[in-house]
């Protein structure tokens, strides 16, 4: 069997160690690239320099870049998903006690297109129906895709932190904190219960990352090979039994399903169309006639049986 070797920029999760072994699997070998700092730097290198054959990327950055003409192929493989509601944080002494209170707040986020903040806004605006037109947005970083239009009146505080802006009172709310700092609390009193209700009502599990392939591999076997390999590591991990702490365990706590990281276009159609729709409504994308056309058409052969 011929062997295809690809340079890939990936994050290591509790379930995907097998991707880092450097060995050939069914005709594919992944050479894992080293990148400086966070995965965000690898995303920038992929967007600006096409630095890799395969790259893990935020779906929002992909969609913005694709609409601008980037030669990227998005695979229906989503290696990192999370519910963001426990990352919407206020100070303990804040007057804001529920989402409906924040209509005129100053809200600090990392960037406008960051998936955590994007999905949190989707929950607040599309699911709860809140009008956030009076919110003042505060950003501490640059979006990976340059030139993205941000809301009118927003400000940038580069070099500062979400924790610091919240503690100083410069921001009333911060979205994107991985843990609740001392003296703070989540805006939503029971984020897990709210996430379960959101999931039950919409069927959507937010996706924060997807896999993209450089456009030079269009029309080759590469997208198929990468989809199969990425899907296989998840299936093998799930077949091993109880999940270790990490992405999958966090998802199963809220959505206890046999397939916490579903692969394929069909299984992700509702989530993808929700994502594209909310990005259009939030001013990040021009209207998209057929959102699924922006996702490579691939389906896994195997689906896990439901838990007994």
Q: Tell me the pLDDT of the chain (308 aa) as tens digits.
A: 589 999 999 999 999 999 999 999 999 999 999 998 999 999 999 999 999 999 999 999 999 999 999 999 999 999 999 999 999 999 999 999 999 999 999 999 999 999 999 999 999 999 999 999 999 999 999 998 888 999 999 999 999 999 999 999 999 999 999 999 999 999 999 999 999 999 999 999 999 999 999 999 999 999 999 999 999 999 999 999 877 899 999 999 999 888 999 999 999 999 999 999 999 999 999 999 999 999 999 999 865 444 44
Count, residues in the chain: 308
State how far the Cα of 74 lies from the Cα of 275, in Å rounded to an integer: 14
Sheet containing 72-81: which strands, arranged edge to edge?
A: 24-25, 28-32, 4-9, 54-57, 207-214, 72-81
* pLDDT, position 290: 97
* 135 and 172 Cβ atoms separated by less than 8 Å: no
Q: Give me the domains of the chain, ranges plus CATH numbers.
A: 4-81+206-294 (3.40.190.10), 85-202 (3.40.190.10)
- Only one residue has tokens 């259009």, namely 280
Tell me the two tokens of residue 67.
């609409």
Residues in CB range of 114: below 8 A, 6 or more apart: 58, 60, 143, 176
Answer yes or no: are the C-beta atoms of 307 and 258 closer than 8 Å. Answer: yes
Is there a contact between 64 and 79 (Cβ–Cβ < 8 Å)? no
| CA distance linking residue 163 with residue 146, whole number of Å | 25
Calpha distance 26→205 (Å, rounded): 30
């Amino acid at each position: 069997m011929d062997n295809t070797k690809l340079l890939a920029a990936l994050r290591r999760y509790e379930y995907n160690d097998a991707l880092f072994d450097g060995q050939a699997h069914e005709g594919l070998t992944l050479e894992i690239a080293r990148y400086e700092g966070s995965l965000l730097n690898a995303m920038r290198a992929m967007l600006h320099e096409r630095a890799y054959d395969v790259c893990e990327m935020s779906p929002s950055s992909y969609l913005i870049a694709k609409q601008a003409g980037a030669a990227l192929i998005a695979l229906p493989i989503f290696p990192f998903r999370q519910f963001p509601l426990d990352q919407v944080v206020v100070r303990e002494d804040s007057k804001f006690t529920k989402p409906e209170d924040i209509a005129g707040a100053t809200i600090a986020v990392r960037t406008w297109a960051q998936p955590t903040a994007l999905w949190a806004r989707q929950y607040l605006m599309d699911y709860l129906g809140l009008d956030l037109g009076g919110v003042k947005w505060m950003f501490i970083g640059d979006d990976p895709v340059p030139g993205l239009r941000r809301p009118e009146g927003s400000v940038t505080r580069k070099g500062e932190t979400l924790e610091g802006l919240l503690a100083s009172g410069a921001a009333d709310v911060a979205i994107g904190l991985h843990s609740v700092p001392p003296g703070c609390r989540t805006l939503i009193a029971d984020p897990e219960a709210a996430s379960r209700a959101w999931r039950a009502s919409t069927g959507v599990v937010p996706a924060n990352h997807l896999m993209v392939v450089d456009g030079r591999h269009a029309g080759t076997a590469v997208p198929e090979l990468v989809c199969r390999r990425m899907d296989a590591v998840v299936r093998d991990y799930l077949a091993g039994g109880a999940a270790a702490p990490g992405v999958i365990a966090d998802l199963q706590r809220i959505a206890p399903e046999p397939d916490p990281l579903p692969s394929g276009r069909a299984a992700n159609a509702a989530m993808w169309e929700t994502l594209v729709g909310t990005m259009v409504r939030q001013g990040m994308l021009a209207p998209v006639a057929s959102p699924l056309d922006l996702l490579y058409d691939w389906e896994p052969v195997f689906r896990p049986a439901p838990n007994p």
